[in-house]
A and B are shown apart, each in its own frame.
Chain A
């Protein structure tokens, strides 16, 4: 095993150990923090496919996070009020079942990613950053001004959705769900990076012209990556909404998109587990600095600035040395 693989195993073990210990010492808040880390990490793992592998700086991934969240919110909202979503031409009811909600969240965010991606990937560089940011803002304002599902106030869901065979209201069992989902996303992203598709995508990051010359359609490659990436982030959004039992337009906000990028950078760009470490570090900072000062984000800003200017490998780069899996 390389140093990085060892470190990755340790990270996954730590992320599982903390809530299990908290469970036996009767500390449900710590379990909730760990669940939050797992979900946010998963959202960033999704983003990392286009950002780390494809080199596309999407500043609008909160769109998919929000779409996933609202998929859950709308389905559960209709289920808890016993109002069908639509009656004609055929009946569609709401649902409180997690697997169905996830499926809807993944498909919807993939479709939205297809449309946004088809437009945004026509451009590159700074244009791409600005356009994804703008589309994020479009969904944010739409969610605020559309009154049917809570508008600016958001949409509360009274009881967490159900998963067959598990009691999702038990923090440790819900954590287990998010942990397995994160594991699946990491596995998928690792497999993707080593596949022909992933190698070609990595090549478009380094030199798109050369890839085109070999006869690979870079636009299609990037679009597929964008869709997969959006779907994973959307899945995480549905989980996040279930964690809070609440959906709000802030899930679409540009700060959210920014935080996903920050997770990846704090952890170390181009690293499979970068998003996990970054999300963990961010939540820890929020928890501990938030207790020290109301203005804790100023410290996050300073740390981020220092990492970008002086320590480009992030935390994993510092711990596992400079070798990077691809590049």
Chain B
């Protein structure tokens, strides 16, 4: 029985990690190419979730909701880049942090104004509801679908960066932006595209997770901060690092919450073990981050 539970929790951790990757990939791309630390990335996640919930609620189609999430987040990302972020490229990190913090306030309150303070709910599509069973083991089909979609998007992103013309430009932009501007690439258009791409990934993750959790204002920031932990662990600017870091954080967090209380019951009474286990589990990924920092200050795949 415990082995089956462990398998289920491992899959949950994988699913969580893949969603974190979608967030972290956008953040790390935006930082790597444009040198911008974007706190409002969590707001774009929220925009995606709200767009999906609103459109799916109106039309009854989850797929349309997903398309709406991608479109809304990408559009919002492009608007933000053109109106605000563009003015921040040659500013220091403090200005970037503050301006994007201001954007969080505007996005959160604006969404609250539009949709009210009550959470929205996004239903799992009928086609993906139910569970898959293999012998004694059963797992929700929707979560399995999220894992597959997460892997497909991750693979697509790697191909986009490694094999396409736009990917070449993005990588070139990371290593030397003056040079590619001199070679005739429209750098401001490239920046808008990269920002919109990152935003779309965040919005996509928001919409997928929206069907598991409630869709509410402020849902993006906890995920954003976890994505920061992922980037610190993986190394800033590295998509591969973001992937490894995200899976590591997803598994550590989920399995820690599951296993630590069980381990603690071995030498404590059950209620104290649950309290101590869950308290320690909530700190586990940050301890992981601290360990990585001690041994590799620039992250697993980061360059100095």
A157 within 8 A of B: no
Q: A300 touches which one: B93, B105, B228 (CB < 8 A)?
A: B105
Shortest beta-carbon distance from B108 to chain A in Å: 7
Residues of B within 8 A of A127 (CB): 232, 236, 297-298
Shortest beta-carbon distance from B290 to chain A in Å: 6
Q: Is the CB of A125 within 8 A of B93?
A: yes
CA distance in complex: A301, B113 (Å):
14
Q: Is the CB of B282 within 8 A of A133?
A: no
CA distance in complex: A122, B112 (Å):
39
Q: Which of A97-146 contact B (CB under 8 A)?
A: 119, 122-123, 125-127, 129-131, 133-135, 137-138, 141-142, 144-146
A interface: dominant SS: helix
A24 within 8 A of B: no
Count residues of chain B with CB under 8 A from any CB of chain A.
Answer: 42
Q: B99 touches which one: A126, A138, A144, A305 (CB < 8 A)?
A: A305
Residues of B within 8 A of A284 (CB): none
Q: Is the CB of A254 within 8 A of B98?
A: no
Q: B101 touches which one: A134, A145, A258, A312 (CB < 8 A)?
A: A258
Q: Is the CB of A134 within 8 A of B109?
A: no
CA distance in complex: A141, B279 (Å):
8
CA distance in complex: A253, B126 (Å):
38
A84 within 8 A of B: no
A43 within 8 A of B: no
Contact A301:B279 (CB < 8 A) given known A133-B225, A134-B225, A308-B98:
no
Q: Size class of A's contact patch?
A: 35 or more
Contact A126:B236 (CB < 8 A) given known A295-B109, A298-B109:
yes
Shortest beta-carbon distance from B246 to chain A in Å: 14
Residues of B within 8 A of A298 (CB): 105-106, 109-110, 113
CA distance in complex: A141, B253 (Å):
12
Residues of B within 8 A of A300 (CB): 102, 105
A297 within 8 A of B: yes
Residues of B within 8 A of A133 (CB): 225, 228
Q: A297 touches which one: B93, B108, B279, B298 (CB < 8 A)?
A: B108
B134 within 8 A of A: no
Chain B residue at minimum C-beta to C-beta distance from A138:
B286
CA distance in complex: A218, B163 (Å):
43
CA distance in complex: A296, B229 (Å):
31
Residues of A within 8 A of B94 (CB): 51, 57, 261, 265, 269
Contact A309:B97 (CB < 8 A) given known A127-B236, A134-B225:
no
Residues of B within 8 A of A146 (CB): 275, 279
A15 within 8 A of B: no
CA distance in complex: A308, B221 (Å):
21
Q: Is the CB of A301 within 8 A of B293?
A: no
Q: Is the CB of A145 within 8 A of B225?
A: no
A147 within 8 A of B: yes
CA distance in complex: A298, B278 (Å):
36
Residues of A within 8 A of B225 (CB): 133-134, 137, 254
CA distance in complex: A300, B108 (Å):
12
Shortest beta-carbon distance from A282 to chain B in Å: 12
Residues of B within 8 A of A305 (CB): 84, 99, 102-103, 106
Sample 27 A-B pairs with CB under 8 A, ordered by A number.
A51-B94, A57-B93, A122-B297, A123-B293, A123-B298, A126-B37, A126-B93, A129-B37, A130-B37, A131-B289, A134-B225, A134-B232, A138-B283, A141-B282, A142-B283, A265-B94, A295-B109, A297-B108, A300-B102, A301-B102, A301-B104, A301-B106, A305-B84, A308-B98, A308-B102, A309-B84, A309-B99
